[in-house]
Copies of this chain bind each other. A is one copy, B any other.
Amino acid sequence: MNAQAPVIGTAPTTEAFAFPSLANGDHLDIEAIRQHVPVRRCKHAAGQGIYHAGQPFQALYLVHAGSYKTCELADDGREQVTGFRMRGSLIGTESIGLKNYSCDVIALEDSEAWELPYPAILRACLHLPELQTYLTSALAAEVRSNRSWMLSLGTLAAERRVAAFLLDVAARYAHLGYSAKHFILRMSRIDMASFLALKHETVSRALSRLDDLHFIAVERREVHMLDVDGLRAMAGTGAALN
């Protein structure tokens, strides 16, 4: 299904994640949800969108495989990647309260997300109080993640931002059970650059320099983390949790 080289490390099988671990460390029992919400599997080819800004808001999506980017669009054509989503991430929550989705979500590779119709979720919240709690916590965690990145983008120079980004990616892979020392970036330099508020050439330079400094070994999208402590020192410890 995936044209790219597979993620490295002892990856749990897809089926082992019928109960996906969700944002903020909380776990949600998808089987319990299934009893109240009709879940539909949606596959997306690389480059294909789950939804686009302006389309009617009807469902949330739980990433099951692959990865996605969330993009904010301006009327005048400006575009900004605001985040990257992997397995276990709940997508679409930012549009709760609106009639239409407020952003685009696009698959970075061949991916799969589970569609959870929002009206059904609302009804399910009445029977599953944890679901309501989970939804609220997930939104709060999203706010914290965004603010944490605002801190990094506002206070770190280009190279340090890239270091923080790599640490964040590594932590997320580790959280999913993959290797945090050796992984494949799923996004292009341009997407990375957009997210980090840089140009893709600057990202290239920063990665090359981190390689020269032996903090990482990078070749195109394949990254080896050689000196995590060194990277942490560059990024200022926290390295923008997610």
Which A residues lie at the B interface, using CB under 8 A? 24, 26, 70, 72-76, 78-80, 82, 93-98, 102-103, 132-133, 135-137, 139-144, 146-151, 153-156, 194, 197, 236-238
Q: Which of B24, B26, B155 contacts A74 (CB 8 A)?
A: B155
* Nearest-Cβ distance from residue A190 to partner chain B, whole angstroms: 13
Q: Which of B76, B136, B144 contacts A136 (CB 8 A)?
A: B136
Q: How far, in whole Å, are A91 and B70 apart by their CA atoms in the complex?
A: 25
User: Known: A80-B155, A139-B139, A155-B80. Contact between A144 and B94, CB under 8 A?
Assistant: yes
Hey, which chain B residues are within 8 Å of A237, CB to CB?
74-76
Query: Once the chains bind, are B141 and A142 in contact (CB under 8 Å)?
Result: no
Query: Once the chains bind, are B94 and A151 in contact (CB under 8 Å)?
Result: no
Query: Once the chains bind, are A238 and B75 in contact (CB under 8 Å)?
Result: yes
Other than A80-B147, A153-B154, give 18 A-B pairs with Cβ distance below 8 A.
A24-B97, A72-B148, A73-B151, A74-B238, A75-B237, A78-B236, A93-B143, A94-B144, A94-B147, A95-B144, A96-B136, A96-B140, A97-B136, A135-B136, A136-B139, A139-B140, A150-B150, A150-B153
Q: How far, in whole Å, are A150 and B137 apart by their CA atoms in the complex?
A: 22
9 contacts between A and B (CB under 8 A): A26-B97, A72-B147, A79-B155, A82-B147, A96-B137, A96-B140, A139-B143, A143-B143, A146-B147
Closest Cβ neighbor of A26 among chain B residues: B97
Closest Cβ neighbor of A137 among chain B residues: B97
Hey, which chain B residues are within 8 Å of A26, CB to CB?
97
User: Known: A147-B146, A197-B153. Contact between A74 and B140, CB under 8 A?
Assistant: no
* Nearest-Cβ distance from residue A103 to partner chain B, whole angstroms: 7
Q: How far, in whole Å, are A73 and B238 apart by their CA atoms in the complex?
A: 10
Hey, which chain B residues are within 8 Å of A149, CB to CB?
150
